Amino acid sequence: MNILLEIWTLLCEMSPYLLLGFLLAGLMHEFIPSKVYTKYLGENSLKSVVLAALFGVPLPLCSCGVIPTAMGIRREGASKGATISFLIATPQTGVDSIIATYSLMGLPFAIIRPIVAFVTAIFGGALCNLFEAPSNSSPSLTSPRGKTNCSTSDVQCSMFNGSWSIRFCRALSYAFGEMMEDIGKWLAIGLIVAGIITAAVPDSWFTIFQGNTLYSILFVLAFSIPMYLCATGSIPIALALMLKGLTPGAALVLLMAGPASNAASILVVSKVLGKRSMLIYLIAIITGAVLFAFGIDYLLPREWFTAPVAQYEACHEEGIGLFSYICTGLLLVLLLRALFFAHHHHHHEELSKAMEGAHIIYNIEGMNCNHCAENVRKAIAAVEGVEQVEVSLHEKTAIIMGTHREQEVLQAVESIGFKASKTQED
C-alpha cells in the first residue's frame, strides 16, 4: 500500500504541470513547421550546431522518437555535427519535461536542465565537426523526387494552413492523443519505479552513496546509459534517488544521461553516422552530465536543489489540494484512453482494404512511437514510384501502392535507423 501511496502522491504533484506541458508541446508541434528546423542545419559549421541545439531543447520528442527524426534531418541535408547536436539536446529536455521537472524538483533543476542539454549538445556537435571530415556524398536538400524540401514560402504557407480553431484542435489531438500514447507508458513505468524505490527499498541500500558525488554518479551512469528513460519519466526516479540520499549532481546525471542515450540509439548512431560519431555522441553526453554534476555538488549551494525535495516531503504530509485531484483525474482518463482505448491505428486488414489496387506489405522493425511511424511513412513516401503508403505502429507494417523499387524502400527505411523486409504482395 505504501508503494501505491507514493505513486499516487507523485502523480498528484506532477499532473497539473504535465497537462500544461502536453498542451504547450501540442501547440509547438502544430504551429511550428518542421521545415523551420531542417532549413538551417545543412552547414558544417558551429552555427548549424548551435541552431540544432536551440531547436532541440524545447522540442517534445521522446528518446525513441528523436532517433528517426534526427536521421531524417540528416537525410534531408543536415551536417553530422548538427545531427549529433540535435540527437543530444532533444531527448534530454522538452517543454513538457521542463515544466514537469519544476513540479517535483523545483526551479533550479528546471533551469539547469535545458542549460546542460544546450551546452552538451554544442560540445558534441562541435567535436563531431572537428573530428569528422565533411563527406563528399552528404545528403542533399533535394528530395528523391527532385523537389526542394523547404523554402520561405513553404514555411509561411504551412504556418497559416487552416483556420486557427482547426489547428488548435489538431494541437489538442496531438498533445493528448499521440503524445500521450508515446510518453504515457514510460511515465507510468517511471512512477512505478520511483514508488518502489521510495517505499520499498531500505535506506541502508544507499548508505555508500549518501553525500558521495563520485560513487553516486558512477552508480547512476551504470544503469542510465544503456537503459531507456524518457525525459518526463526520469523525473520521479531522480526525485526518489535524492530522497534516498543520492546527491543532486547524481540526480542530474540521471535526468540528462538517461534520456539522451540507450542501447537502441547507440546502435542506430553507430550504423547511420559511423562509429566515430557514436563515440563522440557518448563522450559528449557523459562528459557534460558528469561535469555539471560536480559543478552542482561543489560550486552551487546544496539548498537550491535539496529544498524542493524537502518541500515535497512536507506536502506529502500535509495532503493534496482539490485542484491537483481534478488534474490527476483528468490526466488518468487521458492516459487510459491513450494506452488502452485509442483507435488512431487501423489493423493490418483494414489498411489493406483501404488501399485500392495492388499493394505490397513490408515489415518494419524498431518502431516504438508515433514519431517513428510518421518518419517511416515520410521516408517511404519520398521514394520514386510510391503512390500511397500507410504505416501501422501496432502492426509494425507499411503498406505501399505504386510501381517502386523494393531496394529503394529498404534503403529509405534503413537511412532513418529502422529495418524493413517485404512480406507479401496483393
Confidence of residue 418 (pLDDT cuts 50, 70, 90): confident
Residue 30 to residues 58, 68, 213, 360, Cα–Cα distance (Å): 14, 19, 42, 31
Q: How confident is the model at residue 153, as a pLDDT?
A: 44
Confidence of residue 301 (pLDDT cuts 50, 70, 90): very high
CA dihedral angle for residue 115, residue 221, residue 7, residue 331, rounded to 10 degrees:
40
Q: How confident is the model at residue 355, as a pLDDT?
A: 54
Query: Are 425 and 399 spatial neighbours (Cβ–Cβ below 8 Å)?
Result: no
Q: How confident is the model at residue 358, as a pLDDT?
A: 67
**Which tens digit of pLDDT belongs to each residue from 192-250?**
888 888 888 887 777 777 778 888 899 899 888 888 888 888 999 999 999 888 899 99
Confidence of residue 305 (pLDDT cuts 50, 70, 90): very high
Q: How confident is the model at residue 143, as a pLDDT?
A: 40
Is 60 exceeded by the pLDDT of residue 87?
A: yes
Q: How confident is the model at residue 161, as a pLDDT?
A: 54
Report CA torsion sign: 268, 270, 273, 277.
positive
d(CA 279, CA 266): 9
- Interhelix angle 275-299/80-92, rounded to 10 degrees, is 40
**Which tens digit of pLDDT belongs to each residue from 347-398?**
445 555 555 556 788 999 988 888 888 889 988 998 988 988 989 888 889 9
d(CA 48, CA 160): 26
Q: How confident is the model at residue 345, as a pLDDT?
A: 45
**Which tens digit of pLDDT belongs to each residue from 4-31?**
888 888 888 889 998 998 898 888 888 8
Give the right CATH number for 348-425 from 3.90.480.20, 3.90.79.10, 3.10.20.740, 3.30.70.100. 3.30.70.100
Is 70 exceeded by the pLDDT of residue 339?
A: yes
> CA 273 from chain center: how many Å?
19
Report CA torsion sign: 104, 108, 110, 116.
negative
Give the residue, 81 or 134, on which the prediction is more confident.
81
Is 90 exceeded by the pLDDT of residue 57?
A: yes
> CA 264 from chain center: how many Å?
13
Q: What is the average per-residue pLDDT within 179-197?
A: 85
**Which tens digit of pLDDT belongs to each residue from 125-174?**
999 988 876 654 444 433 444 344 444 444 444 444 558 888 899 889 88
Q: How confident is the model at residue 228, as a pLDDT?
A: 81
Sorted by where each begins, the domain ranges of the chain are 2-334, 348-425
**Which tens digit of pLDDT belongs to each residue from 252-297?**
999 999 999 888 788 888 887 889 999 999 999 999 999 999 999 9
Q: How confident is the model at residue 178, as a pLDDT?
A: 84
Q: How confident is the model at residue 280, as a pLDDT?
A: 94
Query: Are 128 and 274 spatial neighbours (Cβ–Cβ below 8 Å)?
Result: no
Triad 182, 52, 70: Cα angle to 5°: 45
Query: Are 15 and 323 spatial neighbours (Cβ–Cβ below 8 Å)?
Result: no
Confidence of residue 182 (pLDDT cuts 50, 70, 90): confident
